[in-house]
C-alpha cells in the first residue's frame, strides 16, 4: 500500500473510530436523560385544553390498540379529532368502535375528502385544523400507527408551558411483530436515530408525536405552509427554524409503533423517508449521508485490507475492525437498555430484538447507508398506496392513484 493511501486510510478510520465513540457517548447521555425525565412524569400538570389530531388511512397493525391509547391519556382536558379521506376507509369501523368504547373523551370523525396537489396526510391535517374551537390552547398530533404511553399528552404539553417553549416532539420506537431480519434491522436503524435525541432537536419535528401551542400554530400559519406539501413534519420543522423557535425533545413522547414489513417494504420505507428529507431538509440529508458513508467506508476498507493482507502492517485493519465493532456493541447495548427504560415489559416482542441489538450494528448501519444512497436519485415516492412526484422545494408535482374517487359521505360527530 502506497504511503498516501495509507495516510488516507488512517484519516478515514481514525475519524470513524472517533465518530463511533461520540455516538456511543451520545447514546449514553440519551439513556441517562430519558431515565431522569421518566422519573419525573408526576411533576407535569395540565395547563390548558388540547386538541389531539390523529390522521388515519387503512388498517394499521393493532389500530384499535393504537387509537385506544390516545383515548386513555391521563390528561383530563382534551378532545380528539380522527380524520380520514372518505367514509369507506377500512379505519372508520375501528375508529367508531373505539369512540363508542371511550365515551368520556369528546371525539369527532372528520371526512377530509381526496387530496389534490398535496399529500393526503397533509390534506387530512389541514381539514382537521380548519376550525379550531376557541377553548383549545394546544394542538397535539399523533400517527395512527403509534401507541403513546398514558402520560404522553401531559408530558408534551408540559414542554410548552413557559417562555421559549413553542413546540415539543417525540419519536417512534418500532416494535417488531415477527422475529424477521427485516423487522429487526429496521428496528435497530430507527432506534439508533432515537438515541440521537437530546434536549433540543434543532428544528426537527417528527409528525407522529408532537405538540405545539395553538397561538404559535396560527401565528406562523402552519396550514398555509402545508399547502402543496407532502411532508407535514419536515415542513413544520422548517417553519419553526425560520422563525428561530426551538423544538424540545421529550423522552416521554417516544411512542411504540408496531412493525411488520417484508425486506422490500423495509427498504422502500427507508428510501422514502430520506428522499422526502432530501427535498425538505437537504442539510440534514447531506449530514446523514456523510456520517453513514464515513462509518461504512471505514468498515469496508478495513475488511478488504484485512482480507488481502498488508505486508508488515496486517494487524492494523484487523485492530481497527475490532475497535469499531466493540464500540458498536457498546452503543447497541446502551440502545437496547434504553428500550427497557422506555417500555419496561409492556411490549414483550422487544425482548428478542434487545438480545440481538448489540451484535447486529454493522449490518443495520450498512442497510441504513444503502437506503440513504438509494434516496439520492429519483423524485417519486409511494406512500400508503399513493405515488407522489416532487418538484424542487418539496411541492407535490403529480399524484397517481389506482382507486376510484369515493362517493361523498358524511359522518356525524361522536360524543
- pLDDT, one tens digit per residue, over 384-397 is 889 999 998 889 99
- pLDDT, one tens digit per residue, over 232-271 is 999 999 999 999 998 999 999 999 999 999 999 999 999 9
In the predicted model, is pLDDT for residue 406 greater than 70? no
Q: In this structure, are residues 185 and 360 in contact, taking their beta carbons and an 8 Å threshold?
A: yes
Cα diameter, the chain: 78
Residue 404 has what pLDDT? 67
* Mean pLDDT score, 74-83: 96
Give percent of the chain above pLDDT 70. Answer: 95
Q: Among the listed ranges 30-44, 88-102, 353-367, 392-406, which one has the minimum average pLDDT value? A: 392-406
Residue 414 has what pLDDT? 39
The x, y and z cell numbers of residue 275, run together, are 428522499
- pLDDT, one tens digit per residue, over 309-331 is 665 566 888 999 999 999 999 99
Residue 96 has what pLDDT? 96
Q: In this structure, are residues 120 and 94 in contact, taking their beta carbons and an 8 Å threshold?
A: no
- pLDDT, one tens digit per residue, over 164-209 is 778 999 999 999 999 999 999 999 999 999 999 988 877 789 999 9
Residue 3 has what pLDDT? 74
Residue 415 has what pLDDT? 34
Q: Which of 102, 60, 103, 81 is nearest to 411 (CA)?
A: 81
In the predicted model, is pLDDT for residue 134 greater than 60? yes
The dihedral built from the CA positions of residue 353, 358, 360 and 362, taken in this order, carries a sign that is positive
Greater confidence (310 vs 95) lies with 95
Q: In this structure, are residues 55 and 166 in contact, taking their beta carbons and an 8 Å threshold?
A: no
Distance, CA of 368 to CA of 364 (rounded, Å): 6
Q: 3-state SS of 362-403?
A: HHHHHHHHHHHHHCCCCCEEEECCEEEEECCCCEEEEEECCC
The backbone torsions φ and ψ at residue 267, rounded to the nearest 5 degrees and listed phi first, read -70, -40
Q: How many CB atoms neighbour CB 101 within 10 A?
A: 11
pTM, full prediction: 0.93
Residue 300 has what pLDDT? 95
Amino acid at each position: 500500500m502506497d504511503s498516501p493511501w495509507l495516510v488516507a486510510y488512517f484519516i478515514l478510520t481514525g475519524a470513524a473510530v472517533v465518530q463511533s465513540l461520540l455516538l456511543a457517548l451520545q447514546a449514553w447521555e440519551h439513556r441517562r436523560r430519558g431515565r431522569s425525565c421518566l422519573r419525573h412524569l408526576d411533576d407535569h400538570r395540565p395547563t390548558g385544553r388540547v386538541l389531539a389530531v390523529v390522521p388515519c388511512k387503512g388498517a394499521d397493525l393493532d389500530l384499535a390498540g393504537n387509537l385506544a391509547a390516545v383515548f386513555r391519556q391521563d390528561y383530563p382536558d382534551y378532545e380528539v379529532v380522527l380524520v380520514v379521506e372518505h367514509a369507506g376507509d377500512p379505519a372508520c369501523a375501528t375508529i367508531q368502535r373505539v369512540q363508542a368504547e371511550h365515551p368520556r373523551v369528546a371525539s369527532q370523525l372528520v371526512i377530509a375528502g381526496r387530496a389534490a396537489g398535496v399529500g393526503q396526510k397533509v390534506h387530512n391535517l389541514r381539514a382537521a385544523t380548519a376550525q379550531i374551537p376557541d377553548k383549545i390552547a394546544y394542538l397535539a398530533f399523533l400517527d395512527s400507527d403509534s401507541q403513546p404511553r398514558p402520560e404522553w399528552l401531559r408530558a408534551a404539553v408540559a414542554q410548552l408551558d413557559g417562555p421559549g417553549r413553542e413546540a415539543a416532539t417525540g419519536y417512534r420506537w418500532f416494535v417488531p411483530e415477527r422475529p424477521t431480519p427485516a423487522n429487526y434491522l429496521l428496528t435497530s436503524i430507527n432506534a439508533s436515530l432515537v438515541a440521537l435525541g437530546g434536549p433540543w432537536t434543532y428544528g426537527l419535528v417528527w409528525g407522529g408525536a408532537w405538540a405545539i401551542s395553538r397561538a404559535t400554530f396560527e401565528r406562523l400559519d402552519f396550514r398555509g405552509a402545508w399547502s402543496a406539501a407532502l411532508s407535514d413534519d419536515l415542513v413544520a420543522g422548517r417553519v419553526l427554524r425560520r422563525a428561530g423557535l426551538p423544538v424540545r425533545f421529550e423522552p416521554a413522547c417516544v411512542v411504540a409503533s408496531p412493525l411488520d414489513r417484508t425486506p422490500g417494504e423495509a427498504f422502500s420505507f427507508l428510501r422514502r423517508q430520506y428522499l422526502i428529507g432530501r427535498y425538505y431538509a437537504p442539510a440534514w440529508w447531506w449530514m446523514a449521508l456523510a456520517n453513514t458513508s464515513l462509518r461504512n467506508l471505514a468498515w469496508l476498507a478495513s475488511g478488504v485490507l484485512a482480507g488481502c493482507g498488508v505486508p508488515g502492517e496486517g494487524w492494523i485493519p484487523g485492530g481497527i475492525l475490532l475497535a469499531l465493532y466493540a464500540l458498536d456493541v457498546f452503543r447497541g447495548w446502551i440502545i437496547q437498555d434504553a428500550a427497557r427504560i422506555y417500555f419496561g415489559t409492556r411490549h414483550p416482542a422487544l425482548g428478542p430484538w434487545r438480545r440481538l441489538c448489540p451484535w447486529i450494528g454493522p449490518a443495520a448501519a450498512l442497510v441504513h447507508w444503502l437506503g440513504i444512497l438509494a434516496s439520492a436519485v429519483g423524485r417519486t415516492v409511494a406512500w400508503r398506496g399513493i405515488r407522489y412526484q416532487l418538484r424542487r422545494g418539496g411541492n407535490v408535482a403529480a399524484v397517481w392513484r389506482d382507486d376510484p374517487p369515493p362517493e361523498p359521505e358524511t359522518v356525524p360527530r361522536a360524543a
